[in-house]
Structure 1
Amino acid sequence: MPRQAEAAAIRPASAFVHCSGGAKPYMVRDKSGKRARPPADARGRTAIMRLFAYIAASCLVLSGAAEAQLSGAGDDPEDIARDLETADTSPDGADADPWEGFNRKMFAINDGFDQHLMIPAAKAYRTVTHKKQRKGIRNFLANLRTPVILVNDLLQGEFSRAGDTMGRFVINSTIGFGGMGDPAERLGIEQHSEDFGQTLAVWGVDSGPYLVLPFFGPSTLRDGFGAGVDLTADPAFWVRTDPATYFRFSRAGANIVSAREPLIEPLADIRTDSLDFYASIRSFYLQSRKREISNGRTNYEDLPDIGEFEEFDDLE
């Protein structure tokens, strides 16, 4: 049967949602009332949507705060994966971790959540999608985060970067097919990330103690507060309708699973190779946040005073 005829002979795949009890997954009915399977591409799309909805619902049930993920990950997950492979994850940062006892317990809970839900979900997502599809989804989700990045660019006085942010949004939303593609990068407009935690740092607010948040992972007191502010900068936060609610939580699930998938192997390697997995993750987070806040520029104030080295005392 030609594909067009097959598609016309059955109801849309979404009709399954409204079927009464007893229907089998992915089954619809043709015009004669007999059950029929939708086309393979429709089943694939439905599987991906179900996976995203499952992750979002799980986060809601377990943490009661899935909406905090709506702003998406800060950096491109593939960039984070590359950084993890080359990062210095030696256990340091203890001075910034006065709440280590609480943080280690919360880290263990999060790790169990990751092992039993997030990793299986990320592997399933990898199985049902192609690499190009996953890249398109990450691009689309990053494009949706433009309002948060733009607001923080402006609050930091980074007007050139704000122009880049707006330019990327216009280009990728039009000739980039709604953000699925990234033609702006090919035109030399690189993606960057900003959040209110970084804005507070630029304003001179200290990071405060290192803090592991339930189900959300490593943070600091400043960054945790900043994440809540970023939520209000997202236009989707203010739309309180049923479709908007479905969109927010579906987007939350998509953000989480899309960000976790490229980190499967790098995090597994760190778990295997490190003497203290908790301390290694803490070290990587604190290092990466310093880099993000400085926009990749070297902060010479962090370098030791040359007078601190005893080797130079003999030269006097």
Structure 2
Amino acid sequence: MSLAFEPLPLGPITLKNRIVLPPMQQYQGSSEGYATQYHVQHYARRARGGVGLIIIESTAVSPEGRLMADDIGLFSDDHIAPLADIARAVSAEGVPALLQLSHGGRKSRPHGEGRLLAPSAIAYNESYGTPEMMAKQDIASLISAFVQAAHRSVMAGFAGVELHAAHGYLLHQFLSPLSNHRKDAYGGSAENRRRLLAEIITEVRAALGPSKLLTMRVSASDYDPRGLTPEHVANDLRVLAPLGLDAVHISSGGLLPIRPSDVSPGYQVGFAEIVRRAVAVPVIAVGMIRTREQIEAILAQGQADLVAIGRPLLIYPDLQRVL
């Protein structure tokens, strides 16, 4: 029997299989951050293709936190209706959809005259420029922005949200000692560096209520010995998951302008396995997972509970054709 196509209880719902479409930018949002009919058709087609869960691409919680000028957002009530079209279309195919909520921090491309914000005034590279260190009020406003976006996601009809704490974006920047040099309650020790994530998880869980899913995507390695390692991240998630997460989604990198030395099939799966030993919630593995044999082995060996397939599903929306 195929493990990949066994149902899986996940928080308040049950998935029909263990295959996830991970969040991938489509670069089709309007200049104001609105989703378009392209998104409706794109995600509905992949839901019809047979995946068990869809995570909609990075969706900005504030204008200055957009990753690109054509990102979609959920920072006003006006953004709800276009996103609700996506939620309805995916749900009509019998697949739950999560909305990934994000803020780019020092890796944002602020729309208009938006501020470039980060935990510390440390640039990602010369292209992005040096960000402002966030003041306490900025942090409070950020938490509020995530909470308001979560409320709007419920109004739009999504099954829940994923918090984007990976790939060098703002929540990842707070977690890593390489980008967080703060001396206050949000920096220094591991406990302080994960404080913002703890507060956002707690507040967003309350906003969603018990009937919605809450997951979080993290980078398990900064690919620098001075930064986050899979063991560090596993320890953080051991504390953070019980605050309200239904699953964790394990990726890597993005904090620094470097690439891992080995990018081969399944190269991040070992990170997921380390995290899975530390937490009591399901773990999603991702990263160059291409074949049914890979997926079955990952699940059979207990390295992860779900497997995300990205680029192949952009090319072939039907899961059976990919696998």
Normalising by structure 2, report the TM-score: 0.25
Larger proportion of strand: 2
1 or 2 for the larger relative contact order (CA 8 Å, sep ≥6)?
1
Larger proportion of helix: 1
Larger Rg: 1
